[in-house]
Every structure is written in structure tokens, then in C-alpha cells.
Amino acid sequence: MPAPKIQLTPQQWRSKLNPEEYAVLREAATERPFTGEYTDTKTEGVYACRACGAELFRSTEKFDSHCGWPSFFDPADSSAVILRADDSLGMRRVEVLCATCHSHLGHVFEGEGYPTPTDQRYCINSIALRLEPKG
């Protein structure tokens, strides 16, 4: 995996992020389902990494999956995220990281049958994102 373009010490990240943001973005925690600020939003715009500001997803790729977290079928740019195997919790998943700062965003799932062009669901923690409304 390439080195992150933005590298901060844990202390620097802690001063930049609140405790909940730090837990998700830097320690791979997960926010509770149906509690995130972007789970049901329909606002047009760009979803950026809350840790570093890099563009990750666009509202045009967001869809209603009713899973409890914001869902996207594709990143804004194929190089915006890094995917890596995650064998934690006794199961095989694919973790999604910000390519710029390597912050944990969520997981991606395939073959679930959603009517999307990619048959993928990027299940992303709201707290890992910041919506920049179009306009």
C-alpha cells in the first residue's frame, strides 16, 4: 500500500479530530447505524474526508440502501480510496480507506443485488465524511 500523502502523529490527529471522529477515522471504529448525519440526506454535493478534506464520493453516486449508513456505488475517483482485506470480527470484509490520509471510512460489499451500475455498496460512516453542498 502506498504511503499516505498526509502523515500526522496520533497526537496531531487527536488535536484535529474530536474523540468520536478519531475512534472511527484512526482506530476503525463504527458509528451506530441510523445515527449518522448523512444516512438519509439528499443534498447535492461532494463528500470529502473529514480528516483531510480529500474528495471521496459525490451525491450522484449515493443511494438508499436502508442499511443504516450512507451508501455509495462508486468513489468520485478510482484513486480516491484504497481497499484492503479486513479479517476482523471473524469475517472477511473489504475495508475502505481514504487514499490521501489512510483514515478508515467503512467497508465495501459486492453482489448484494442493489440496482446500481457497479453492484457495490460502499457503506461509509457519516462521521468520516463532510458534505460540501453544490452551489
Beta strand 104-110 pairing with 62-63: unpaired
Choosing among 2.170.150.20, 3.40.50.620, 2.40.50.100, 3.90.1150.10, the CATH entry for 10-133 is: 2.170.150.20
Task: Return the amino acid letter for 26.
Answer: R
> What is the C-alpha separation between 103 and 26, in angstroms, rounded?
6
The pLDDT of residue 50 is 98
Query: For residue 9, what are the CA distances in angstroms to 16, 44, 51, 64, 132?
Result: 11, 34, 13, 36, 27
Three-class secondary structure of residue 82 per DSSP? strand
The pLDDT of residue 2 is 79
The pLDDT of residue 96 is 98
So which residues are the catalytic ones? 123
Where are the chain's structural domains?
10-133
Q: What angle do CA 18, 21, 105 make, to 5 degrees?
A: 160
- Written as tens digits, the pLDDT of the chain (135 aa) is 778 899 999 999 999 999 999 999 999 999 999 999 999 999 999 999 999 999 999 999 999 999 999 999 999 988 999 999 998 878 889 999 999 999 999 999 999 999 999 999 999 999 999 999 986
The pLDDT of residue 3 is 84
